[in-house]
Structure 1
C-alpha cells in the first residue's frame, strides 16, 4: 500500500475513536447516568480529561494531518519532485508522536482509575465520600461493591467507561506507531503515487 493511502486509512480510523473517547469522558461526569449534586464527589481522574484531551483533542490534529497526506502537493520543491511529499511524510512522524503522547496519557489515567476505583459515598468510613477500594481489590471481588452506597451503579459505570478509554487509547497508540513506521518509509522512499510515478514519470 502507498504510504499516503496508508496514512489516510489511519486518519479515517482515528477520528471516530477520538470522538468516542471524548464522549466516554463526558459521560463520566454523570455517574450512573445521573447528575451529581456536588462536583467534588466525582473521581479525581474524571477531571484529568483523559478522553477529551488525550484521546480527543490531541488525536484530532494527527488524524487530520494523516488524512491530508494522500492529497498533498508533492511536486516542484527545489527542483526535486519528491521532496515535498517526503517532507510531509516526515512531519507526519512528529504529529504521530503527539498522538502517542496524548493516547499514552489517556491510557495511564485509565489504568490509575481502574486500579483505584471510583469515589463514592461509602459505609466503610462513616458514610463519607471516599475511595473505599485498595489496590484494585474490587476488580476480583464483586462483594466489595456493596461498600459504595451512592451514586447508584457507579462501579460498573466507572469500570465500563474507563475500560473503553483504555481500549481506545491502546488502539490509538498502535495506529500512531504504525504511522511512525509508515512515515519513515514515506520519508525515505516517497509515495508510490507521488508526481505521477504510477503514470509514467517513474518512481520517486
Structure 2
C-alpha cells in the first residue's frame, strides 16, 4: 500500500476512536449513569479530560491531516506548487507526534484512574476507599462504595475503554511516524512518473 493510502486508512480509523473516547469521558461525568449534585464528588481523573482533550481533540488534527494526504498530488499539495508530497508526509510526522502525546496523556490518566479507583460515598463521606488497585481482583471490596450505585463497574469499564482505545491510537500514530518517514524519503508510489508526464496520473 502506498504511503498516502496507508495514512488515509489510519485517519479513517482514528476519527471514530476519537469520537468514542470523547463520549466515554463525557459519560464519566455521570457516575453510575446518574447526575450528582456536587461536582466535587466526581472522580478527580475525569476532570483531567484525558478522553476529551488527549484522545479526542488532539487526535482529530492528525486524523484530518492523514486523510488529506491521499488527495495531495505529487507535484504539489492543496493547490500549492511549492508544497510537495514529501513535505506533506514530513508534516504528517509532526501531527503524528501530537497524536502520540494526546494518546499517551489519555493512557496515563486512565491507568492512574483504574489503579486509584473511583471516588464514592463510603459510609457518611465521599472518599477513595481503594488502594493501589486492590479492588480489581477482589470484587467483594466493591461493596465499600454505597453510592452512586454501580459506580465501580461504571468507572472501571469506561476508563478501561479509554485505556485500550488510547493505546490503539498511540500504535496507529507510531505507524504513521514510520509511514511518514518512508513517504518523506521515498515519496508516494502513486507519484511515480506523474510529474514527468506533465502532471497526468
**From 136, 154, 175, the counterpart of 1:139:** 136
1:105 match = 105
**From 156, 161, 164, the counterpart of 1:159:** 156
Q: Is structure 2 residue 190 aligned with structure 1 residue 193?
A: yes
Q: Is structure 2 residue 93 aligned with structure 1 residue 93?
A: yes
Query: In 2, distance between residues paired with 1:2 and 1:136?
Result: 44
Alignment deviations for residues 32-82 of structure 1 (CA, whole Å, 9 cap, x no partner):
1110111000000000000000110000000000000001133169xxx99
Query: In 1, distance between residues paired with 2:177 and 2:108?
Result: 21
Query: In 1, distance between residues paired with 2:138 and 2:173?
Result: 36
Structure 1 residue ranges, 4+ long, deviating more than 6 angstroms after superposition: 198-201
Q: What are the within-5 Å matches in structure 2 for residues 18-33 of structure 1? A: 18-33=18-33
Change over 3 Å in CA distance of 1:200–1:90 after alignment to 2: same
TM-score under structure 1 length normalisation: 0.91
Aligned length: 196
Query: In 1, distance between residues paired with 2:169 and 2:194?
Result: 31
CA RMSD of aligned residues (A): 2.1
TM-score under structure 2 length normalisation: 0.92
- Asked if the contact 2:74–2:194 (Cα under 8 Å) also holds between the matched residues in 1, the reply is no
Change over 3 Å in CA distance of 1:192–1:136 after alignment to 2: same
Query: In 2, distance between residues paired with 1:34 and 1:174?
Result: 34
- Asked if the contact 2:25–2:52 (Cα under 8 Å) also holds between the matched residues in 1, the reply is yes
Structure 1 runs not aligned, ≥5 long: none
> What SS does the aligned partner of 2:126 have?
strand
Q: Is structure 2 residue 167 aligned with structure 1 residue 170?
A: yes
1:67 match = 67
